[in-house]
Amino acid sequence: MTEATELAAQLGTKDPRVGLQAVAALRRLLDRLEQLHVDNARDSGWLWQEIAGALGVTKQAVHAKHAQRRRAQGKEEN
C-alpha cells in the first residue's frame, strides 16, 4: 500500500487525533508533490501562468510560493 493510500484509509477513523494527523501528513505529501510537478513544468519550459492555470491559482500565488525556492536551488534565474 502506498503512503497516500494508507493515509487516506486513516481519514475514515472516528478518532480525531488519527484523522487530524492523517490530514497533516497528506498536506505535507501534497506540498512535496506540487513542488515536484512545478519543477518538472518549469524545467520543461512552462510559464508561471501555465502552471497557475493548471493548479487553479493566480500566477502571483504560484510564483510567490515556488520561485524563491527554485532560485535557492539554482533552478531559477532572477
Handedness of CA 66, 70, 76, 78 (dihedral sign): positive
Look-up of cell digits 484509509: 9
Look-up of cell digits 533552478: 75
Does residue 1 register a pLDDT over 70?
no
Residue 68 CA to residue 66 CA, distance in Å, equals 6
pLDDT of residue 3: 84
Q: How far is CA 54 from the centre of its chain?
A: 12
| pLDDT tens for each residue of 13-53 | 999 999 999 999 999 999 999 999 999 999 999 999 999 99
| pLDDT tens for each residue of 3-15 | 888 888 898 999 9
For 8, half-sphere exposure in the C-beta direction (CA atoms, 13 angstrom radius) is: 6
pLDDT of residue 78: 64
* pTM (two decimals): 0.84
Is residue 37 a contact partner of residue 70, using CB atoms and an 8 Å limit? no
Is residue 3 a contact partner of residue 29, using CB atoms and an 8 Å limit? yes
